[in-house]
Structure 1
Amino acid sequence: MFQEEQSFVLRFSLEAQFPDDYEGNEEEYRWLRDWEGRVKPEVLKSLFETLRRFPEWSVHVRNRGHSPLDQVEVVVQKDFSKRLNL
């Protein structure tokens, strides 16, 4: 089977800013835990809900050895191999 591929990158860079008198370790990365525990799951849920509104495209997560804390690869696929020959 012949397959073509194209990549599209949507990258999130997370930043947290603190006052000048911040000592570090005071909040123990609560901002990052908030992202991982609340925000990121909602972003991924919304992404999948949107993509599933287009039934001619299938969507799934693919792990290529990267930690899901660092990278989530979402595969969006359109399959022409099963079309009817008229």
Structure 2
Amino acid sequence: MFREEKTFVLRFSLEARFPENYDGEEDDYAWLKRWEGQIKPEILKSIFTLLRRHPDLKAHIRNRGISAEDEIEIVIEKDFPEAEDQ
């Protein structure tokens, strides 16, 4: 079987800015908890909803040993049928 591959990276860099009088971790990382608990899952759901509209593609999450808080890899596969012998 011959395989071709292409990697595409969509990177999110999260930043929070606080006023000068902010005293460290007062908010207990509420902005980051919102990302992890609400926004990131909504993004992933949207991606898989869109990919399901393309029945010729199969998508799944692949874990390469990196925490899902730091990286999520989505594998999108397309299989081509074997040519019939003539």
Normalising by structure 2, report the TM-score: 0.93
Q: Secondary structure at the match of 2:74?
A: strand
Amino acid at match of 2:4: E
Partner of 2:42: 42
Q: How many residues align?
A: 85
Following superposition, the deviation at residue 64 of structure 1 comes to 0.7
Following superposition, the deviation at residue 83 of structure 1 comes to 4.3
Runs of 4+ aligned structure 1 residues displaced above 3 Å come to none
Structure 1: tracts of 5 or more residues without a match: none
Partner of 2:79: 79
Q: Secondary structure at the match of 1:68?
A: coil
Following superposition, the deviation at residue 76 of structure 1 comes to 0.5
Following superposition, the deviation at residue 74 of structure 1 comes to 0.2
Matched, 1:59 2:59: yes
CA RMSD in angstroms comes to 1.2
Q: Secondary structure at the match of 1:43?
A: helix
Structure 2: tracts of 5 or more residues without a match: none
